Structure 1
Amino acid sequence: MGAEREAEETVAERPGELRRGLALLVAGASFMEFLDGTVIAPAAPHIADDLGVPAVAVNVAITAYVLTLAVLIPISGWLADRFGTRRVFTAAIAGFTIASLGCAAATSLPLLVAARVVQGAAGAMMVPVGRLVVLRTTAKSDLVRAIAYLTWPALAAPVVAPALGGVLATYASWRWIFLVNLPLGVAALVLARRLVPDDRAAQPAGLDWRGFLLTAGGVAALVVGMEALGSARPDAAVVALGLGGGAVGLTAAVRHLRRARRPLLDLQALWIETFRVAALGGSGFRAVMTAVPFLLALFFQLGLGWTAARAGAVVIALFVGNVAVKPVTTRLMRWLGIRSVMLVAIAGSAVCLLAMVLLQASTPLPLLLGLLVASGVFRSIGLTAYNSTAFADVAPDRMSAANPLMSTLTELGAGLGVAVGALLVRLGGSVATGEGPDDAFRIAFVLLTVLLVLPLVEALLLSRTAGDAVTGHRPRAAGRRRLPAGTPSG
């Protein structure tokens, strides 16, 4: 009790400083969660050799993690209201760290999958609850600054993961992929006790069990169906049951959530224009952007004949683009408005994807790196714009209801990105007329470009003044306004 009281008093005394520290803490936790979603993919052959299973079978460890995340995120808000944000967040960090140790110590594929399920369950509580705390304790005028800190994990982790997983598996051991989480988890646990306020609802509502079961069942079936459809040898029965069951389950879930008095996920938030665009268009944009580094790493190896080390190193150029533009993304939204920034990001990303279709083994390396840096730039400003828009018009007392819905859709978008990428490569291979394996990837890049139509339409329909309350944007006729001194860009 003494430590908790001291933390609460410290928060009250230095809200500005600790809000920044809190945002960075949650960003670090998000980085661990995003990283572990895809980091084992390049290490799959090494894991398979060690555990004595086919390499393709290791994919179930990735699926189990993403599936658990997507299924359990909807109850994160209820748990935070009932047991307190600090208790849930610290328990999630501890669970994630212990599960990481379990993954590293696994001696068989079933044990690895079981540890990944526990890791996914902890991640489902860790990031959404952490984001909720930041949103609750941040004023509207500072929301863009806080979102800037929370955005970089989604930008960095999917790009860093292939290189990190490949290097650790090749030069050390695949078990180090999970062991690196231990010191990070311990440090986060210590900081969480001091930085996270003990916020909880005075009278928490009961859990909507029917909504949870319908939503969880529908999401689980959808993920299983998508994974099966994108596999090298899809099982027609699993695909049909997964996609069909997902459609039925999610349809029933939507019907229930619209009628329930206290639904698990508050779909009314989708009536808020800015939230809807960030939830639907943002999830589509995020899925495409998550698929890009995954496809590029495979394209360079299977299509252009590169080594895994070279492919992983070159893909880092995407991250360079992410970082390079960060100092000006906030100013871009202030100068142009969120709608214009979204349109620029979508159009630029589409051009970069079409340019990737033209890549050859003979393409000069500087030109290739320049293309990937540009893709990373558009990726960064697009995700920052969507994240900044999401809660721009959501009232503080609606954050607990809106945050789980946004977290669920965001996680699904990112999680299904890799599955969608694998599916498009398979579709590309079935219609390719050339003999080389690179044709399948070129067609996949074109199809990814087509998928950007949904975010494009959503952005075009968005109000020109959307998000102005959080970005400080004003039409030219209304005059200009300077950012407050010391405001970090992001």
Structure 2
Amino acid sequence: MTDTDTIKRYLPWLVATALFMEQLDATIVNTAVPSIAASLQVTPLSLKSVVTSYILSLAVGIPVSGWMADRFGTRRVFFTAIAIFTVASVLCGLSLNAPMMVAARLLQGLGGAMMMPVGRLSIIRTFPKNELLGAMNFVILPALIGPLLGPTVGGLIVHWVSWRFIFFVNVPVGLLALYLVWRHMPDYHGAEPRPLDVIGLILFSSGTAILSWLLEVFGEHTLDPMTAGLMLALSISLLAAYAWHANEAQFPLLRLALFKVRTFRISVLGGFITRLGIGGLPFLLPLLYQLGLKLAPWQSGLLMMPTAAAAMGMKLIAPKVLARFGYRQVLMFNTICIGLTIGLFALVGPSTPWYAIAGIGLLQGFFNSLQFSSMNTLAYADVESKDSSMASTIASSFQQLSMSFGLAAGSIVTAWFLGRVPQTDQMMVTKALHHAFIALSVMTMLSSLVFARLRRGDGESITQSKTATAVAQDPAPLSQA
């Protein structure tokens, strides 16, 4: 077996292990938010900072990950990222108050920021385009076990022990990932070392951080309109200044010229809008189940399992669906379906049968999985190999930003309809959450207008391959590729 064969055999498992740890952590935290809020003596909605701080740290740190991978090599960066993530997980579990947890989550986000873009970059550089869809799907399949187990395991831990232990489960997974990196991670470097765009990093990071913070505090009505307007103008100015700087700089942090590639532009921007609607669900659904329906954390976790199970099943048939109907038809139709299923959660109340809620979750996981498979692979359909590192960095940055903004948007809408009513009022909390689901539903369906700009043959370099379909259906060929 050649070195290339060995890398192709183990790399998907390595990246999947890291993604499993990251997704497990995120889903466990979401399920435990009400319990953590009670322990730290804060309101559940105010704890969104624990979730958004992690996502924001990802969004700010991801742009540097591409430069670090090119400069120091994928193996060293990936190893360091997993080590930081694991240590930060322990610090989260030891937090005594909300500010300490937010700080630990920021550190954890920095580890995650270097982790997944570098893993995705390694996959892109290892597999040719006609094997990329299969490789990406294979990476996602084991990683979806995280969301499958996270809500249930988190609920059981909170029910039987303490919420602090939900962070400690990352330790054995992190140690396993470190071992796999040491043994099997390829060490890719950039063809030409480029200097770090410090000015671009300051402009982009400051602009996104201020905007995300503004969205968070706006949801709690703690900022006067004048200050909020000035902060919004400042964040937009910083981001506009970065856009100008990126067009003038020789080595920009994020090379925005890649947006001239039509399929890349549509995939990233369409995905940004789509995730604005989807991003609030992982935070709002546990609130609906635990505060609105008065379910125990472990019962809330069980209701979220069908979504992950359906997502795993869809990964097996996604290549065939895309090959049969094409990216344009799939993304336009599937985006509408996602919006409709989000809207169905507005019908869930204390009298709704559990099997009806599980059915909505199944539909949600089914359509979400197809959407992410489509968007994540279409982005690289027409990108040249030399631009793969930059494309991966840009796509990951916009993905995390959209999830952060989506979480904030869902919380803002909920808080807006809730008003000054105490969050212990079951009826009003449920009503406010229902309004939030409707708003997120409409927001998601609007993104289908972006995907309508795709052409019929877009993405054929990825879908028109027997290898990609075969690999996605059966993991065995991947190990022998």
Q: Answer yes or no: is the 8 Å Cα contact 2:332–2:449 preserved in 1.
A: no
Q: Are the counterparts in 1 of residues 130 and 467 from structure 2 also a CA contact under 8 Å?
A: no
Match in the other structure for 2:464: 472
Q: Distance in 2 between matches of 1:156 and 1:246?
A: 37
Shift, 1:329, TM fit: 0.9
Are the equivalent residues in 1 in contact too, given 2:338–2:445 (CA < 8 A)?
no
8 A contact 2:201–2:253 mirrored in 1: yes
Q: Do the aligned residues in 2 keep the contact of 1:322 with 1:376 (CA within 8 Å)? A: yes
Partner residue of 2:273 out of 284, 297, 300:
284
1:422-461 correspondence to structure 2 within 5 Å:
422-429=411-418, 436-461=428-453
Residue correspondence of structure 1 range 51-450 to structure 2 within 5 A:
58-152=47-141, 157=146, 161-231=150-220, 233-236=221-224, 239-240=228-229, 242-429=231-418, 436-450=428-442
Conserved 8 A contact 1:321-1:377: yes
CA spacing shift, 1:252–1:453, aligned 2, 3 Å: farther
What are the superposed Cα offsets for residues 367-409 of structure 1, whole Å, 9 maximum, x if unpaired?
A: 3322221121111111111111111111100112211111100
3-state SS of 1:452 partner = helix
Distance 1:26 1:307 in 2: 33
TM-superposed CA distance for 1:235, in Å, is 2.8
Q: Note closer, same or farther for the CA distance 1:298–1:103 as it changes in structure 2 (3 Å cut).
A: closer
Asked whether the 8 Å contact 1:300–1:311 carries over to 2, the reply is yes
Partner deviation per Cα, 1:155-204 (whole Å, 9 max, x = no partner): 66567544443332221222211111111111111111222112112541
Contact 2:23 2:143 in 1 (8 A): yes
Q: Is the 8 A contact 1:41 1:59 kept in 2?
A: no
Q: Structure 2: which 5+ runs fail to align?
A: 475-481
Q: Does the 8 Å contact 2:52/2:408 carry over to 1?
A: no
- Deviation for aligned residue 1:110: 4.3
Shift of 1:42: 3.7
Runs of 5+ unmatched residues, structure 1: 1-9, 474-481
Which deviates further from its counterpart, 168-177 or 377-386?
A: 168-177
Instruction: Give the aligned residue type for 1:235.
Output: L
Deviations along 1:9-43, one digit per CA (max 9) or x if unpaired, are x7xx1524532421221122123224434533443
How far 1:52 moved relative to its partner?
A: 6.5
The whole-number CA distance in structure 2 between the counterparts of 1:407 and 1:485 is: 25
In the alignment, does 2:472 pair up with 1:488? yes
Q: Over residues 41-74 of structure 1, what are the superposed CA-to-partner deviations in whole Å (9 max), with x where a residue is unaligned?
A: 4434544565576766654433332222111111
Given that residues 228 and 239 in structure 1 are in contact (C-alpha distance below 8 angstroms), is that contact kept between their aligned partners in structure 2? no
Distance 1:244 1:38, change over 3 A: farther
User: Aligned-pair distance for 1:219?
Assistant: 0.8
Deviation at 1:236, TM superposition (A): 3.1
Q: 1:15 to 1:133 in 2, by over 3 A?
A: same
Higher relative contact order (CA 8 A, sep 6+): 2
- Mark the CA change 1:56 to 1:431 in structure 2 (over 3 Å): closer, same or farther: closer
The DSSP-based 3-state class of the residue aligned with 1:461 is coil
Which moved further from structure 2: 447-456 or 210-219?
447-456
What is the one-letter code of the residue matched to 2:275? R
Question: Are 2:49 and 2:216, in contact at CA under 8 Å, matched by a contact in 1?
Answer: no
CA contact (8 A) 2:134 2:468 kept: no
Contact 1:168–1:176 (Cα < 8 Å) also in 2: yes
CA distance in 2 between counterparts of 1:485 and 1:55 reads 44
Judge conservation of contact 2:147–2:308 (CA < 8 Å) in 1: no
Q: Deviations over 1:350-379 (max 9, x none)?
A: 222233333343333333322221121111
Query: Per-residue deviation at 1:215?
Result: 0.2
What CA distance in whole angstroms lies between the structure 2 residues aligned with 1:97 and 1:87?
16
Contact 2:152/2:299 (CA < 8 Å) preserved in 1? Answer: no
Separation in structure 2 between the aligned mates of residue 60 and residue 453 of structure 1, nearest angstrom = 27
Cα pair distance change 1:218/1:157, threshold 3 Å: farther
Whether 1:22 aligns to 2:11 is: yes
- Partners of 2:43 and 2:436 in 1: how far apart? 26
Partners of 2:110 and 2:353 lie apart in 1 by 44
1:55 & 1:291 partners in 2: Cα distance?
Answer: 14
SS at match of 1:106: coil
- In structure 1, what is the Cα distance between the partners aligned to 2:266 and 2:175? 37
* Structure 1 counterpart of 2:478: none
Q: Which amino acid aligns with 2:325?
A: L
Relative to structure 1, the CA distance from residue 41 to residue 360 in structure 2 (aligned partners, 3 Å threshold; closer, same or farther) is: closer
| C-alpha RMSD of the superposition | 2.8
Q: 1:37 to 1:320 in 2, by over 3 A?
A: closer
Aligned mates of 2:378, 2:40 — CA distance in 1? 45
Amino acid at match of 2:25: D
Looking at structure 1, the residues matched to 370 and 104 of structure 2 have their Cα atoms a distance apart, in angstroms, of 35
Q: What does residue 5 of structure 1 align with?
A: none
Equivalent position SS for 1:437: helix
> What is the deviation of 1:472?
0.8
Deviations 1:413-437 (A, max 9, x none): 22333222111212344599x9743
1:92-149 per-position Cα deviation (integer Å, ceiling 9, x unaligned): 1112112222222334544433332222111111111111111111101101012213
